[in-house]
Copies of this chain bind each other. A is one copy, B any other.
Amino acid sequence: MKKVNIGEELASLEEYWSQKIIGKANGQLFKVAKGIGEVNWHKHDDQDELFILYKGHLTIRLRTENIELFAGDMFVVPKGIEHSPVAEEDVEFLIVGLDITSTEAGGKPAWSRTPNG
C-alpha cells in the first residue's frame, strides 16, 4: 500500500487531455489530467464524472449554463448530461469515474490524440 502525491502526479503529465490513473477505490478510478483549449461536446451515459480543480480556470460548458471552476472547486457532471470543458490556459485537475474517459467518445479533441487514442 503506497500513498501518491497529487501535485507530483500532475507535474508528471506530458499529454493534454490524457488521464493517468493514480488510485482506485470501490470501483472508481482517480485520475489526473491537464488540459488546454476545448474538449468536444459529449456525454457519458454510464457514469457521473467528478472534477476537482488543482490549477487554472476550467469552464465546464453545459447546455443550460457554464460552470466556472478554479483551484479547490469540485463539480459533478451527472451521467447523460452533455458537456464541453474549455480552458484558455493550462489547467490541472483530478477526475473521478468508472473508467478512462479521455477518448474520442469522451470528447478528446483530435489534435490531442495519440495513435493509441
| A68–B3 CA distance with the chains assembled, in angstroms | 8
Known: A6-B52, A25-B97, A96-B25. A1 touches B67 (CB 8 A): yes
* A28 proximity list for chain B (CB < 8 A): 25-26, 28, 96
Min CB–CB distance A78 → chain B (angstroms):
7
Whether a CB of chain B sits under 8 angstroms from the CB of A17 is: no
How many residues of chain A are within 8 Å of chain B by beta carbon? 37
Q: Are B26 and A48 in contact (CB-based, < 8 A)?
A: yes
Whether a CB of chain B sits under 8 angstroms from the CB of A98 is: yes
Give 1 or 0 for each of A77-117: 1 = CB within 8 Å of chain B CB.
11001000000000000001110000000000000000000
Whether a CB of chain B sits under 8 angstroms from the CB of A36 is: no
* A interface residues, Cβ below 8 angstroms from B: 1-8, 22-28, 30, 47-50, 52, 62, 65, 67-69, 72-78, 81, 96-98
Told that A6-B52, A25-B50, A26-B96 touch, could you supply 13 new A-B pairs with CB distance under 8 A? Answer: A3-B67, A3-B68, A3-B69, A3-B75, A5-B73, A6-B72, A23-B74, A25-B48, A25-B96, A25-B97, A26-B47, A28-B96, A96-B96
